[in-house]
Amino acid sequence: MRSPQASSPRMSRPFPAFLLILSAAAALHPQALAIGEQASRTTVIKAGRLFDSEKGAFLDNQYITVQNGRVVGVEASMKDPKGANIIDLGKYTVLPGLIDCHTHLLFLEKIGRQGSGLSSESVAALVFEGDALRALHGAARAKTFLEAGITTVQDLGNGGQFADVALRDAIEDGSVDGSRMRVSGPGLSAEGGQLPGLLYRHLPLANDEYRIVRGVDDAVAAVREHLVMGVDVIKVYADSAPNVARLSVAEMAAIVKEAHRYGLRVSAHAVSDTSVRDAALAGVDSVEHAYSLSDETIQLLKEKNIFVVPTLLSSDSLARYVELSGEVDKDVIKKQLQSMHERNRDVLQRLMKNGIAIASGSDEYLDLNMPQGQSAKRVLYAYAECGMGVLDILRTTSINAAKQLRLENKVGVIKTGSFADIIAVEGSLEKDIRVLDNIRFVMKGGKVYVDSSAGR
C-alpha cells in the first residue's frame, strides 16, 4: 500500500511436445475463437498497429501466430494459415497484455466512511472479513484487472496469511478468471506493520497481515518461511508509513541476501528519501513509491541498478478521491493536490533524466467506485501528466515491468516464445495514452477473455 526474483516455476513450465503435435493436427477449420475458447489450434491475429516493446515503436499490419497459448511467429505478411482461426484486429492497436507491478487484490479501502483510512480498514479486513472472504473478493477484483487488459500483476502483500498464494494458484489452475499473479505473502515489516494506533495488547494483530521482523536472524527465518509457502517475490517495508518503526539496513540486507540465495527478488516499500536510501544500501531489487528522492539517492539507485515503481494517482483519481472523502474546503485540497503533483512530476523527471529503470505499479487499493482494473490503469495516465511520453509509458508496463518481475521474454512482449497475452485498443495511442480505456480484445495464454471488436 501507498502509505508504504525468481521466475515462477509454474510460469516457466515447458509445454509438453506431444500436445504441440496433437494441436497442429487438430487445425482443420478456419473459425474465429469464441470468448473463453482456448487456442489449442493455430490462431492468426491480424494487428492493424502493433506495439513492439523491444523496439519501443509501433509497426503497421502485423500477423501474430499463436499455438498452445504461446506466440510462435510475428510477421509482416500472412503465410498460408492452413485452416487457422483468424482474428481480425486490423482496426485496432495491438499490445502485449499490460503488467502492473504493484497491486493489493485482497484489500480495498473504502473512502469517506466514518473511521475509514488505511489502518482501520486493514484492521476491519483482519477482524471482520478474514482470509477466505478476502480471497474471494480478490478473485472478483482479479477479473476486473484481466478485463481491463492487465494480464499480469505482482501482488505485494495485504493478503492476510498467504491468501494471495491461494488466489494465484486458483487462477493458474483455471478455477478463477484473473491476471497472472506473482505474490509476496505478508510483507516483512518492523513492529506494528502499517497499523498505527493499536493498543499495546492488540499489537499482535499486525502479525496477521505482516511478518513482523525482530532482528537479523529473524529476518532470515522470515524469508525461509515465505519460500516454503510458495511466494514469488519478497516484499519488505523499509518504512511502514503511516507507522513509525523502520527495519534497519542490516535486517534488510539479511533479507536480501537470503532471498537472493533462492533467486527471489526483493521489492521494498519506501516512501521517504531516507527509507529509499536504506533499501538501496541493503541491495533490494526495486523500491516502490519513492515519493521523495534526493539526487544522491538517485545516484545510488543508478549505481545499484535498482528499479523504481512510482505509484502515482492521476488527476481524475485524485478528484474522485476528494469527492468521495466528503472534504469541503476545496481551495485547501486544490493546493495540496497541486503541490503533490509538482512533487511527483519533479521526482519522475529526475528519474527519467538519470536513466533509472521505471516499471509501472498502480498500488490500487482505494475504492473509487469503479472496477479496480480500470482505475489501476490510471497510473499510466499519471505518468503522462508528469511529462512521460507514450512510448516510455508503454515500456514501463511491458518490457520494463517484465524485467522487474524477472519474466523477460515471457510477458510484456509479443514475440516467438512469449505467452500469448495480447490485447487490443481502439483509437490512437500515440496521441493519447487514455485510449487504453477502450479495450476491445483480451487474450491471456491463448484464451480469449474479452472480444468486443466489431463484427465478432
Distance CA 366, CA 101 (A): 16
Asked if residues 358 and 287 have their Cβ atoms less than 8 Å apart, the reply is no
Stretch that binds Zn ion, among 293-301, 356-364, 405-413, 437-445 (CB under 5 A): 356-364
Report the nearest approach of Zn ion to the CB of residue 366 (Å): 11
- Distance from C-alpha of 370 to C-alpha of 130, rounded to nearest angstrom: 23
Of the pair 4, 192, the CB lying nearest Zn ion is at 4
Report in angstroms how near the CB of residue 364 gets to Zn ion at its nearest: 9
- Binds Zn ion (CB under 5 A): choice among 208, 258, 363, 385: 363
Distance of CA 45 to the CA centre of its chain: 26
CB of 103 to Zn ion, least distance (A): 8
In the complex, what is the shortest distance from the CB of residue 91 to Zn ion, in angstroms, rounded to a whole number?
37
Closest residue to Zn ion, Cβ-based? Answer: 1
d(C-alpha 53, C-alpha 357), whole Å: 15
Number of residues that bind Zn ion (CB under 5 A): 3
What type of residue is 162? F
Q: How far is the CB of 168 from Zn ion (least distance, A)?
A: 17
User: Considering the rule CB under 5 A, would residue 1 count as an interface residue with Zn ion?
Assistant: yes
Residue (101 or 219) nearer to Zn ion, CB: 101
Nearer residue to Zn ion within complex by CB, 1 or 313:
1
CB of 1 to Zn ion, least distance (A): 4
Residue (209 or 363) nearer to Zn ion, CB? 363
Neighbouring C-beta atoms of residue 295, cutoff 10 Å: 9
Stretch that binds Zn ion, among 4-12, 31-39, 382-390, 433-441 (CB under 5 A): 4-12
The answer to whether the CB of 219 falls within 8 A of the CB of 251 is yes
| Element housing 153 (H / E) | strand 150-155
For Zn ion, the closer of residues 1 and 423 by Cβ is 1
Binding mask 39-68 for Zn ion (x = CB under 5 A): ------------------------------
Instruction: Count CB-CB contacts under 10 A for residue 398.
Output: 27
Build a one-symbol-per-residue string for 307-346: x at contacts with Zn ion by CB under 5 A, - elsewhere: ----------------------------------------
SS3 385: helix
Strand 70-75 relative to strand 150-155, pairing: unpaired
Report the chain's C-alpha Rg in angstroms.
22
Helices assigned H by DSSP within 107-246: 118-124, 131-147, 163-172, 216-228
Least spacing, CB of residue 155 vs Zn ion, in Å: 10
| Residue carrying C-alpha cell 544500501 | 281
Shortest distance (Å) from residue 104 CB to Zn ion: 6
Residue 2 or 143 with smaller CB distance to Zn ion: 2
Min dist. Cβ of residue 98 to Zn ion (A): 18
What length does the chain have? 456
Instruction: Specify the DSSP element, H or E, that contains 94.
Output: strand 85-96
Query: Rule CB under 5 A: is residue 358 a binding residue for Zn ion?
Result: no
Burial 216-241, CB ≥16 within 10 A → b, else e: beebbebbeebbeebbbbbbbbbbbb
| Smaller CB separation from Zn ion, 40 or 122 | 122
Closer by beta carbon to Zn ion, 110 or else 257: 110
Interface with Zn ion includes 121 (CB under 5 A)?
Answer: no
Residues 6+ apart with CB under 8 A from 342: none
Calpha distance 111→121 (Å, rounded): 10
Pick 4 or 69: Cβ nearer Zn ion: 4
Q: Report the interface residues with Zn ion, using CB under 5 A.
A: 1, 4, 363
